[in-house]
A = this chain, B = another copy of it.
Amino acid sequence: MTEYDVLTIGNAIVDIIAQADDDFLIAQAVQKGGMTLIETARARQLYDAMGPAVETSGGSAANTVAGVVSLGGTGAYIGKVANDELGTIFTHDIRAQKVRYETTPLEGEPPTARSMILVTPDGERSMSTYLGACVELGPEDIDEALVAAAKLTYFEGYLWDPPRAKEAILKAASIAHANGREVAMSLSDAFCVHRYRKEFLDLLQSGTVDIVFANESEVLALYETDDVELAIRRIAKDARRLAAVTRGDEGCVAVSGAETVAVPAVALARLLDTTGAGDLFASGFLRGHTDGLGLEDSARLGAVAAGHIIEQIGPRPQQQLAKLPGAKEILDRIAG
């Protein structure tokens, strides 16, 4: 099999994105800035209440691999949709991005997952996610040859929500390491960290995961502290290979052993929608890392990709990221 830079595994989701004001979030009891799991009845009720929307493929790890490829890397994806119209949209979009995607779709119910994303005037996104077909992802969906062929396998912490996806991840991590490959994860969401704190810590401390991505609120949740510097020191120690922590408009910190770099956020023309910021930071970082770049260049690529995605609506890049000014210089160095 061809070698891929990055294989990502995650909940395969179509995003339904609408503008909303803070009063609407309060009236609808939507947790601002977070990802809340919802069931069928709540999904229907919230959809009926929310404003006109646009639809785009999403899913955290799927966004990340789409970004890797948009930055000139190669990628594959594993995640479960149903054989329905939203599943067709998801499948089209990721394949059209030149990401290898061959996970067998679910026949029948439940339908393809969807996340209702409300974007407030401050650009913050609040997600209410119906997992649908994602609950059927299991170890049988892990293609051993594909994992072995990927330089790095990346998964989202959100996969601890569906019942059997964690088995799929443990299988994939084991295959990756048996083939001398790396394993990375994202902590996904502070509430998700609250739900699975001990398991996530164990993934790091056991060496199941080599590289971890988190934002400030996630790393604080992981160590149950309000001291960011302390939390970063601890995650850097727990991570086998490296930890990258994003800090919103303060940029990011990446730590690997004794080496620490801090990279500022890129200046924005306009902040439209933060959906996908963390996902695309991981895209840039992994694009650099899997091509042998150091912490600083990798983090800079991450900052450029994250900065771009929040200047548009939706988490999939609408322009080729490799052509962005800040990215091009760094990528030219890889090519050169």
Residue positions of A touching B, CB distance < 8 A: 16, 18-19, 47-48, 50-57, 66, 84-86, 89, 92-94, 96-97, 111, 313-314, 316, 318-319
Cβ-defined contact, A55 with B52, below 8 A: no
Cβ-defined contact, B52 with A54, below 8 A: no
Q: How far is the CB of A114 from chain B (nearest CB, A)?
A: 9
Nearest-CB residue, chain B, relative to A313: B318
> With contacts A85-B84, A313-B318 known, is A96 near B53, CB below 8 A?
yes
Name the one of B19, B47, B85, B314 contacting A54, with C-beta atoms under 8 angstroms: B314
Q: How many subunits of this chain does the assembly comprise?
A: 2
Cα(A94)–Cα(B51), bound, Å: 9
Cα(A92)–Cα(B52), bound, Å: 7
Cα(A51)–Cα(B96), bound, Å: 5
Cβ-defined contact, B54 with A56, below 8 A: yes
Cα(A11)–Cα(B86), bound, Å: 21
Name the one of B66, B86, B314 contacting A85, with C-beta atoms under 8 angstroms: B86
Cβ-defined contact, B86 with A66, below 8 A: no
User: Closest 7 interchain pairs by CB?
Assistant: A55-B55, A85-B85, A52-B93, A54-B56, A52-B96, A51-B96, A52-B97
Q: Which residues of B have CB within 8 Å of A51?
A: 96-97
Nearest-CB residue, chain B, relative to A272: B318
Name the one of B19, B52, B92 contacting A47, with C-beta atoms under 8 angstroms: B92
Q: Which residues of B have CB within 8 Å of A55?
A: 54-56, 89
Name the one of B66, B84, B89, B318 contacting A19, with C-beta atoms under 8 angstroms: B318
Q: How far is the CB of A111 from chain B (nearest CB, A)?
A: 8
Name the one of B56, B92, B316 contacting A48, with C-beta atoms under 8 angstroms: B92
Cα(A111)–Cα(B97), bound, Å: 26
Q: Which residues of B have CB within 8 Å of A16?
A: 89
Q: Which residues of B have CB within 8 Å of A97?
A: 51-52
Nearest-CB residue, chain B, relative to A99: B52
Kindly name the residue among A56, A94, A319 whose own CB sees the greatest number of chain B CB atoms within 10 A: A56
Q: Which residues of B have CB within 8 Å of A94?
A: 52
Q: Which residues of B have CB within 8 Å of A318?
A: 19, 54, 313
Cα(A85)–Cα(B110), bound, Å: 13
Name the one of B53, B84, B313, B316 contacting A92, with C-beta atoms under 8 angstroms: B53
Cβ-defined contact, A96 with B313, below 8 A: no
Q: How far is the CB of A47 from chain B (nearest CB, A)?
A: 6
Cβ-defined contact, B314 with A50, below 8 A: no
Name the one of B18, B57, B84 contacting A52, with C-beta atoms under 8 angstroms: B57
Cα(A169)–Cα(B258), bound, Å: 74
A-B contact sample (13 more), CB < 8 A, given A52-B97, A53-B93, A84-B85: A19-B318, A19-B319, A47-B92, A48-B92, A51-B96, A52-B94, A52-B96, A53-B96, A55-B56, A85-B85, A85-B86, A313-B313, A313-B318
